[in-house]
Amino acid sequence: MAAPEEEWPEVYVQPGESHLVRGPTVMRTLLGSCVGVTFRHERLGIGALCHPMLPCHPGDARGRMTLEAARRYVDFAIRDLASQFDSLGARRADVEIKVFGGADVLQAQQHESRPTVGRLNREKALAVLRAEGFDVAASRLGGPCGFHIDFYTATGEVRLRTLQ
């Protein structure tokens, strides 16, 4: 007999995308310096995954940038999904958040005075989540390798595979 998750629909979240789903779904993505943030509200049966690539939305681009383009930025993508959860009646204290990625995958000379994109992404994600009133239930951030993640929205489980 097949496991229930084998019958669930799958969504592959590309870099720069965000997806919100209702009902059991397996959401997958591949992370390097990007971050992946999972959102889950058990009672409402909704889950979401964003895969932003850069830390800060350029404020002077407001009105000239499409929603799809704006979701490439960590700060915008997190606030956008938070707003969607708000509109569906989710209290932020009841939303389970998990954060992954932000690796330093490029072989470049690293100096503390010159942060990497991975470091900037992970720092921005944690700062925005904190500012928006979310607690992080689990995370795996940084390091030299990326991850493939599978997020099971019905259970909240996130399975990680390290990329070599």
pLDDT, tens digit, for every residue of 107-139? 655 555 678 999 999 999 999 999 999 999 999
Q: What is the pTM of this model?
A: 0.92
Domains and CATH numbers, the chain: 4-162 (3.30.1330.200)
Q: Give the integer Cα–Cα distance in Å for 20 and 47.
A: 6
- Cβ count within 10 A of residue 156: 16
Predicted confidence band of residue 2 (pLDDT cuts 50, 70, 90): very low
